[in-house]
Structure 1
Amino acid sequence: MNSTMEKLKERIKDKKYKLTTQRQTILQAFIDAEENHLSAEDVYGLVKQVAPEIGLATIYRTLDLFTELDLLKRLDFGDGRNRYELNDEEFAHFHHHLICVKCNEVSEFEDDMLETLESIIAKKLNFHTIDHQLKVYGYCSKCQEKMKAAGEPIGPTHHA
């Protein structure tokens, strides 16, 4: 069993919940997934390959529970679907999301440029930041190429 699963199991146990076979299967889907931002439907697609008896309703209930227990982070990328990612030290490094408004692809970048802003906020406003999320909306390189080839305008770049 890998260390990530062991850590997550401990956190469930510490919060006085049982790690049922179904819950473990769902957690394992997150650990094994190549994509880091899974919707309930994505999880269902992965889980039904190994445990076809687990229904979509169980997936939704489990995702809600895991979010409540801080095992998962719920993310909203503005496309009408919640996405989830593991909230584990191995995966919980500060990272930000680039969201393509044309194809809805989500990618991550890890430069934590907000640390300076957090320091300023702490000093000026006496506010201690424990977490932050940055979402940048635009066009991925693939969509930009398609748009250029089709003669579509890419649109202005907005700078604050």
Structure 2
Amino acid sequence: MSKELEFYKHIFHSNNIKLTTKRIMILKIFLDHKNDHLTANEIYYLVKKICPSIGLATVYRTIQTLLKLDLLEHLLLEGRVNCYKLFFNEDTNFQVHNKHHPHLICLGCKKIIDCRYDFSQYNFINTVKNQINKDFLFKITDFEMNFYGYCEKCSGKKSK
């Protein structure tokens, strides 16, 4: 088992959740597609190639487990499409990514680009959260930030 899988195995074990063979296969799909935001159907299609007996329900249950463990990023796109990406940082400690980062979503090709910024230098996020809490008595526990536009490839097509 790779160091990456050992990292996730430890998280499952420390939360008293069984890491089944099928869950390992789904984790491998995420690890093989680290830079992609995948839909449940895409995950199902990819894992079905290596495990024909797996069911779509198993994929959905595994996604829910990974979300519960806070290991999976959930992104809801226009058209109500749910995409998922494993939080993962390739440093030697196998730390989980900071999940609060913007996404750049191309309206042309639908490409999703992770925009990794250190938000500690941008105090406006905390300012907005605090103002919302004050004005609406609403405590924010999570947020998403998506920017829609055209990637370099698609914006080049539009200017021609």
TM-score, normalised relative to structure 1: 0.76
Counterpart of 1:60 in structure 2 is: 60
Counterpart of 2:21 in structure 1 is: 21
3-state SS of 1:147 partner: helix
Find the aligned partners of 2:142 and 2:28 in 1 and give their Cα distance: 25
**Which is greater in Rg?**
1
The one-letter amino acid paired with 1:17 is I
1:28, CA displacement in angstroms? 1.0
Find the aligned partners of 1:87 and 1:43 in 2 and give their Cα distance: 16
| Alignment CA distance shift 1:136-1:105 (3 Å) | same
Q: Deviations over 1:86-138 (max 9, x none)?
A: 1345451464311012221111222335632268639x76x8x9865431111
TM-score, normalised relative to structure 2: 0.76
Alignment of 1:6-155 (within 5 A): 6-89=6-89, 90=95, 92-93=97-98, 95-113=101-119, 115-117=121-123, 121=127, 133-149=144-160
| Alignment CA distance shift 1:133-1:52 (3 Å) | same
Structural RMSD (CA): 2.7
Gap regions ≥5 residues in structure 1: 150-160
Counterpart of 2:136 in structure 1 is: none
Find the aligned partners of 1:91 and 1:70 in 2 and give their Cα distance: 9
Contact 2:34–2:85, Cα closer than 8 Å, also in 1: no
Find the aligned partners of 1:138 and 1:96 in 2 and give their Cα distance: 13
1:23, CA displacement in angstroms? 0.7
Q: What count of residue pairs does the alignment treat as equivalent?
A: 147
3-state SS of 2:122 partner: helix
Identity fraction in percent: 35
The one-letter amino acid paired with 1:121 is T
Contact 1:79–1:104, Cα closer than 8 Å, also in 2: no
Q: Deviations over 1:45-104 (max 9, x none)?
A: 211121111122221121112111222121112232111111345451464311012221
